Structure 1
Amino acid sequence: MTAKSLISRQDYPAFVALVSMVLWFGNGMVLEGQVPFFRDLGMFFYPMRYSLAESLKAGDIPLWDRRMAMGFPLLANFQSGSFYPPHILLLVLRFFDAIRVLYVFHYLVAATGSYTLCRRWKYRPYLALIGALLFTLGGATVSLTNLLNHFQAAVWLPWLVFFWERSLQSKTWKSFLTFSLVLLCQFLAGSPEIYAMTLALLVLDGLRLRKEEGAIPCHTLFLHLLAANVLVAGLGMAQILPSVELLLHSRARGSVTYAGGVKWSLHPLSFMNLFFLDKEVALDTATGLQPFFSRDIPLIISLYLGVIALPGISLWLWKSSLKEKALLLGALMGSAILALGAYTPVYRFLFRTIFPFSLIRFPEKFVFVTCSLLLFVALRGLFRFFHSDSSIRPPLLILSSIWLLYMVLYLILRTHTAELAQFISAATQTSISSPLSLGKTTAVIASAERQVLLISGIVLLLLLGKKEAVNPALLKTLLVGLTFLDLYSAHRPYQYLLDPKIMEQAPRVLALPDGGRLFYIPSLTHLRPDYFVSSKSSFRDRTAAFFANLFPNTGIVHGFEYMQETDPLERWPYSTFLKAANALPPEKLYRLVGALNVRHLISRQPLTGGGVTLVREFPEYPTWVYRVDHTVPRVFVASKCVVESDPMKAIIRLSSSEFDPVREVIVERPLAIPPAKNSQAEARISLYSHRRVSILATVSGTGVLVLADSFYPGWRAYVDGQEREILRANVFFRGVVLSEGKHLVEFRYEPRAFKVGLMVSIAVLLVVTFCSLAVCLKSLKRSRQPI
């Protein structure tokens, strides 16, 4: 399709209608000022975006955040999207205004991209509208809104396919560069998994294009994609090198365990959700979601494609060639098997034998490929149905069979409610007579009724359209409207929209930060903050309790600082800490966290043992807030060094009553520091920013100044203007040796990985700019030559 045809008059009404439907779908964000709140958005993505916004508005590079995890390399976290172009909105808008605009913008990216791609495939505007709605408002895309980096990456898929095909066919520098820049944009959105799946889909699309249109050698296809990825890697090196450095210092430097890797695998029963609503949003429950046939909430909370998808897929199976079936059905089966993860022996074999699979967490993500291919197949089937001159009998038989399938299913459920209730009771492990089981039984029947009504309307419209028994304009309007109604009613609640005041203005268990760090205790034997239990009965109240309890890292918007890490790429010192701390008795745990500059413990249960003092109790959550009796200051000078190279033993030593965390420091190797008796020292912070800390210190003898912030590559220490070696102190902290006297000590975050990556990115950008100018000048010169 040419650029001119993309803006033809027949596309104007369709574009207006599409944008209007997308805005209406997100009207809670557009008109009511609400934003999504579900799962990791509040504890992970919003705090990270808030820190990014702060840095941008301060005119700073978002390299480091001192409030997260005792100091965390923000930019190195790929999911932060520090270089993602749309995040410029965080600079110019208030935080939650920017979040709302970002969500709406990405919905529109998905909608306009899929419409444009369908038009390129010669689909009529009404069918392109249906395709855009199925992709943008379908279950896979809407489900990813609570996994913000995946959502931001996934919406670029249609545009990438569009520019990929145009680049392969035109073979010009301009088309190749455009494709590469859009690919870079998706890469910087922060989801390497979606990026890798997109590359696989582009290969499949290239093979399809080669088969249908020819003139594209197979080696050209792969070299084209390789060159684009080399360009993306070069331009994105400022992001890649810091991320690789973080990976090397995280627990992922060792392989993810199989149990951890397949924690979220797609349950086989979930495939029915492609064409049937097997769960419902229940805002009157704490979890906010009620699966009908399972106790567990899946990672991708909806796979629903839309009721029109099944007729389209069935019609494709009828009209497609054998080779096309082999290629696409093979890809569908492959992606589905990967998504099943722990439910098939195939994934275990891949996990143990192919290295990249040992780094992937949650194979359920692969269902994004499955859903994308099914949408392609469904649209292709509908297109061929309306543009085929074959007899009405085969499609009549197919569509009637689909309608009959839904009707028979509904009648079976309706007439066998007792058996249905027993199945639900067994699947959810609840009593068959409980209100929950009875409510789910009723909801399943209501869902079946809904699908019967919708499929009846779709089948009737398809058959009337095929026989040309209805006005074409009316038919198209009804098909698009019914598709939108189906997806709107099914998926609008899955956005989990709430007023952001629930995070900004919620009453908190601690009103103001007091200089120490917070430590959240779900359980004394499970200290990783990866779940939250509340007595609140509704989703809104539970979410409010989540923020009121200052769950990591929700409090950074109010200035609170945290010891615990919530990032999947948690660094190895914290992983070691968890292994040791989970086995410690309470008194030793309190000494340990006190030695790590933790001032308050926020516990979901009353704490026993000495070493902590109850500050306040909140029975409505319930929550208990304790103050640690002995907490080291943020900066101090230790006069005695203890050598311990084993991190686990060092952490155990920190918890010992024989260890003095203010006068002693644990280092990895012996230091030439003479013992000092009655040594006096004073240290205070004069400047404390994210990337720079200035300390005024006075010592009467040689000692080690300890800053209770994370030790991490890229930090440099300067004592009176002279660079000094930074020591790893107490496993986590930064230390530097000081001689007797007064000193000005500066810690500066100057990461070499970022500097090298930035220089590579700038160099590649200059080369690309030079090549683009050269191509433009050559083209201009050629256009001026006489014919």
Structure 2
Amino acid sequence: MMRQDGARRDLTLVALAGAAALLALLAGPLLAGRFYLYDDLLTFHLPLRVFYARCLASGDDFRWFPDYFCGMDLHGEGQIGMLHPAHLVLYGLLPVRVALPAEFLLNYVVLLGGMVAFLRRRVGPSAAVVGGMVFTFFGYNILHFMHLNSVAVAAHLPWSLWLIDRLFRGTGRPALDGAGLALLTGSGLLLGHPQTAWYVKLVEGAYVLFLALETGRWRRVAWYAGSVGIGVLLGGVQLLPTWEALALSRRATLPAGSITMGSLHPLNLVQLVAPYVFLERYMPSHGGQGLDRFVRIHELGLYQGAAVSALLAWLALRWRALDPPARRLARGAALLAVISFLMALGDYGPFGWVLVHAPLIRSFRVPARYLLLVHLAVAVLAALAVDDLVRANRAPRSARWLALVPAAGLACWVGIRVVDQLRPGLLPTLGTNARVGFNLGLLVASAALVALAARRPRLGLLGLMLVMVADFTSYALYFHLWDTVPPLAPALDPRPEVPPVGEGDRLHITLPEPGVAYPGRRAEYRSGQLSMAGYRLTDGYVALFPARRLDYTRVEAQRLAGVAWAWDDDRDGGSWVAVPGPMPRARVEGEGPPARVAIRLDRPGRFGAEVDAPGGGRFVWNEAFHPGWTAAVDGEPATVSRADSDFMACPIPPGRHSVAFRFRPSSFRLGAAASGVGLALVVAVVLAPSGHSFAVRRRTP
């Protein structure tokens, strides 16, 4: 027994060493003061988090963002997760140069820990660590590193599965597990990525059904449903404003082609064993035409490592030898992988109509993101394979069939080369022989090490850890370095070259709406730079592009928005062009002598001015109209209406007056009330006696 315990401990240490190595590779640049400023991290998350941190430091209202679109509801847009307790602490106490890397790395630490905790309830410790490594460092979560909030929501998933497993298969208080599920649901919603939250609930529901069938404890389904309901209330302070922002955005009316943009082409299946067969490592959707030409490997990446391919083959070979609980779990995971893959196919698969027409779901773009669920299922299968490996006394004769794994990789490479020769131009540019050969070497090594692990688990598992580290370095980390990993400090203090502008003036840079016309990376980068440098723009880069009535590429609209300079990409390689006669930040429209306006307060979410209007009229403020704004004239409520199609106005009587605007959306107030009720219910559930104890007391004479 002591020898078995020592062997198990050694295997666990080997697996933990592999996980630590991968985490160190990911964290290395962060610890050196650098950061992965690629794609949305640079153009979206960085400038918005800079604004968020500044508001926390100054006490301003971070819900309203005046720098993009002549002002927008940033809290409703959601993806900063500004009311999540972790973000309030990080960005309220730490400088952005520390808080942003900490947020980035914390997502992966929480994800790894949760996956290990969940799998540990089903498999041994070493297998749980390997499964955690696969889900954390290979596939969706590592390729989507630039989507901070999506990875953060996904990090809740394994912890939810852990609690659900405890709820159905544990002997403790279900109230505590239910309260934990409610808190996780609320936390995920507060992070503001409804698409990933939808994926999380899909998996949770599937696992609840699986465990109810496995254990027969159907009453626990009600516990789960009630917990999720309370969690939705907890997240109401984010959920309701996001729902309102969606209704006020163009995302609510996306055309079908934008919804299915990023459908996974079936030929991407070759990635499982031949990830480098194409130079860009993926087969583009719809032939790389239209909007899909901008959907790249981070959305379409299916590969989860050569070691995983060999482990899946081992599990298939050992299927009949698995004990019944492991086989049931493997069957459920395989079913989840197949259904999720069919969803990821988008309009290539059977669920295309559902994705385009189903309520709520049709607001989510890029069907390939269902690969998150595929990768979760594969990680579970890999853990089951490792668990079987370390329990095996010797490699069965069928282990020789593991040679089919590298053979499949070679066959894919040869087959793709033949098709490319027969039909030139049909396929994207092929990968280099060197990278394909490297991958084949990893496949050969993985197959041999899996067979070795059945006889000598410590040596075989150590070899697999080395293969996974090499694979991660060449595939995932290489992807991170497509753009350089620069020091973060200079990016936080941009100094763009801009002509002089007056106080309250705006700049215009055209950024077409995501999902309708792809916004150029240069324009996105420039808009983020300008925002961090303190400039206000008529456009910007966000997910929920606000619906607007004016065309801001036209000079007339730019004048109404108070634009002093517009960027012209077509002039002299790109230059600033002065806009003639921009309107002032605030003015009075009416009859009689000209009115005088003196702005006293112009901060996010608040605006105040002193007005001398002998003839009265309408006070016009060129901030974007939103139903959440309220107005007061001399402290008395005034009606806010649209002005010049996209801006705000309120009536003022003749004379001298004080005018004030404040952002106070009803969706936020209702959401805050719902969150308060949810928090009270969580406390009540935790403090209430368990149903089991109550039943025992009733039976006591």
Which residue of the other structure, out of 599, 609, 631, is the alignment partner of 1:717?
A: 631
Deviation of 1:406 (Å): 3.1
DSSP 3-state at the match of 2:299: coil
Q: Distance in 2 between matches of 1:777 and 1:528?
A: 53
Unaligned runs of 5+ in 2: 321-326
> Is residue 133–residue 483 contact of structure 1 (8 Å, CA) maintained in 2?
no
Deviation of 1:179 (Å): 2.6
Quickly say closer, same or farther: Cα 1:774–1:386, change in 2 above 3 A.
Answer: closer
Q: Distance in 1 between matches of 2:376 and 2:138?
A: 10
The one-character-per-residue Cα deviations of 1:659-714 (angstroms, maximum 9, x if unpaired) are: xxxxxxxxxxxxxxxxx35x211112111111211101111212111111122122
* Counterpart residue identity of residue 187, structure 1: L
> Is residue 14–residue 129 contact of structure 1 (8 Å, CA) maintained in 2?
no
Quickly say closer, same or farther: Cα 1:247–1:50, change in 2 above 3 A.
Answer: same
* Counterpart residue identity of residue 109, structure 2: L
* Counterpart residue identity of residue 609, structure 2: I
The one-character-per-residue Cα deviations of 1:145-171 (angstroms, maximum 9, x if unpaired) are: 112221111122222211221122235
Q: Distance in 1 between matches of 2:435 and 2:606?
A: 58
Q: Distance in 2 between matches of 1:114 and 1:240?
A: 26
The one-character-per-residue Cα deviations of 1:62-94 (angstroms, maximum 9, x if unpaired) are: 221222221111211221211223212111111
Q: How does 1:200-349 map to 2 (within 5 A)?
A: 200-212=202-214, 214-217=215-218, 220-253=219-252, 255-278=253-276, 296=293, 297-298=295-296, 300=299, 302-320=301-319, 327-344=332-349, 346-349=350-353
The one-character-per-residue Cα deviations of 1:179-237 (angstroms, maximum 9, x if unpaired) are: 3212322222222111111122123323443454x2322xx354233212211111111
Alignment match, 1:149: 149
DSSP 3-state at the match of 2:599: strand
Q: How does 1:30-45 map to 2 (within 5 A)?
A: 30-45=30-45
Quickly say closer, same or farther: Cα 1:406–1:223, change in 2 above 3 A.
Answer: same
2:620 maps to 1:706:
yes
Alignment match, 2:537: 562
* Counterpart residue identity of residue 189, structure 2: F
2:692 maps to 1:692:
no
Deviation of 1:242 (Å): 1.7
Q: How does 1:592-603 map to 2 (within 5 A)?
A: 592-603=557-568
Alignment match, 1:748: 662
Quickly say closer, same or farther: Cα 1:353–1:111, change in 2 above 3 A.
Answer: closer
DSSP 3-state at the match of 2:76: coil
Deviation of 1:424 (Å): 7.1
> Is residue 35–residue 96 contact of structure 1 (8 Å, CA) maintained in 2?
no
Alignment match, 1:651: none
Alignment match, 1:75: 75
2:442 maps to 1:491:
no
Q: Distance in 2 between matches of 1:279 and 1:34?
A: 32
The one-character-per-residue Cα deviations of 1:362-403 (angstroms, maximum 9, x if unpaired) are: 212112112221222233234334435797122332x12223
Quickly say closer, same or farther: Cα 1:528–1:409, change in 2 above 3 A.
Answer: closer
> Is residue 619–residue 649 contact of structure 2 (8 Å, CA) maintained in 1?
yes
DSSP 3-state at the match of 2:79: helix
Deviation of 1:337 (Å): 2.0
* Counterpart residue identity of residue 736, structure 1: C
> Is residue 521–residue 604 contact of structure 1 (8 Å, CA) maintained in 2?
no
Q: Distance in 2 between matches of 1:111 and 1:60?
A: 36
Quickly say closer, same or farther: Cα 1:258–1:528, change in 2 above 3 A.
Answer: closer
Which residue of the other structure, out of 492, 496, 500, is the alignment partner of 1:504?
A: 492
How many residue pairs match? The answer is 670
Q: Distance in 2 between matches of 1:526 and 1:450?
A: 37
2:569 maps to 1:604:
yes
Alignment match, 2:555: 590
Alignment match, 2:375: 371
Which range moved further: 71-80 or 298-307?
298-307
> Is residue 75–residue 82 contact of structure 1 (8 Å, CA) maintained in 2?
yes
Deviation of 1:347 (Å): 3.6
Alignment match, 1:663: none
Q: Distance in 2 between matches of 1:774 and 1:330?
A: 38
Deviation of 1:513 (Å): 5.3
Deviation of 1:25 (Å): 1.8
Quickly say closer, same or farther: Cα 1:99–1:480, change in 2 above 3 A.
Answer: same
DSSP 3-state at the match of 1:26: helix
Q: Distance in 2 between matches of 1:235 and 1:337?
A: 33
> Is residue 52–residue 82 contact of structure 2 (8 Å, CA) maintained in 1?
yes
Quickly say closer, same or farther: Cα 1:481–1:340, change in 2 above 3 A.
Answer: same
> Is residue 277–residue 447 contact of structure 1 (8 Å, CA) maintained in 2?
no
Quickly say closer, same or farther: Cα 1:686–1:18, change in 2 above 3 A.
Answer: farther
Q: Distance in 2 between matches of 1:327 and 1:169?
A: 17
Larger relative CO (CA 8 A, sep 6+): 1 or 2?
2
Alignment match, 2:159: 159
Deviation of 1:249 (Å): 2.1
Quickly say closer, same or farther: Cα 1:775–1:62, change in 2 above 3 A.
Answer: farther
Alignment match, 2:323: none
> Is residue 64–residue 72 contact of structure 2 (8 Å, CA) maintained in 1?
yes
Alignment match, 1:401: 404
Alignment match, 1:626: 577
Unaligned runs of 5+ in 1: 282-288, 429-436, 535-544, 583-588, 607-616, 640-675
Quickly say closer, same or farther: Cα 1:767–1:507, change in 2 above 3 A.
Answer: closer
Deviation of 1:49 (Å): 1.8
> Is residue 719–residue 743 contact of structure 1 (8 Å, CA) maintained in 2?
yes
> Is residue 258–residue 351 contact of structure 1 (8 Å, CA) maintained in 2?
no
Quickly say closer, same or farther: Cα 1:522–1:357, change in 2 above 3 A.
Answer: closer
Alignment match, 1:462: 450
Deviation of 1:479 (Å): 2.0
Q: Distance in 2 between matches of 1:62 and 1:775?
A: 40
Q: How does 1:620-769 map to 2 (within 5 A)?
A: 622-639=573-590, 676-677=591-592, 679-769=593-683
Deviation of 1:745 (Å): 0.7
Q: Distance in 1 between matches of 2:342 and 2:66?
A: 42
Alignment match, 1:66: 66
DSSP 3-state at the match of 1:146: coil
Q: Distance in 1 between matches of 2:22 and 2:67?
A: 37
Alignment match, 1:136: 136
> Is residue 274–residue 436 contact of structure 2 (8 Å, CA) maintained in 1?
yes
Alignment match, 2:510: 521
2:82 maps to 1:117:
no
Q: Distance in 1 between matches of 2:459 and 2:568?
A: 61
Alignment match, 2:324: none
> Is residue 265–residue 364 contact of structure 1 (8 Å, CA) maintained in 2?
yes
* Counterpart residue identity of residue 435, structure 2: S
Q: How does 1:180-191 map to 2 (within 5 A)?
A: 180-191=182-193
> Is residue 143–residue 301 contact of structure 1 (8 Å, CA) maintained in 2?
no
For normalisation by structure 2, the TM-score amounts to 0.87
Quickly say closer, same or farther: Cα 1:603–1:181, change in 2 above 3 A.
Answer: same
2:460 maps to 1:475:
yes
Alignment match, 2:107: 106
* Counterpart residue identity of residue 342, structure 2: I
Q: Percent identity?
A: 19
Alignment match, 1:355: 359
Deviation of 1:629 (Å): 1.1
The one-character-per-residue Cα deviations of 1:625-664 (angstroms, maximum 9, x if unpaired) are: 111011001001112xxxxxxxxxxxxxxxxxxxxxxxxx
2:411 maps to 1:380:
no
DSSP 3-state at the match of 1:567: coil
The one-character-per-residue Cα deviations of 1:324-377 (angstroms, maximum 9, x if unpaired) are: 776544433322222111323x34422455323322222121121122212222
> Is residue 137–residue 487 contact of structure 1 (8 Å, CA) maintained in 2?
yes
Q: Distance in 2 between matches of 1:484 and 1:211?
A: 38
The one-character-per-residue Cα deviations of 1:395-416 (angstroms, maximum 9, x if unpaired) are: 332x122233334556x37xx9
> Is residue 496–residue 529 contact of structure 2 (8 Å, CA) maintained in 1?
no
Quickly say closer, same or farther: Cα 1:279–1:36, change in 2 above 3 A.
Answer: farther
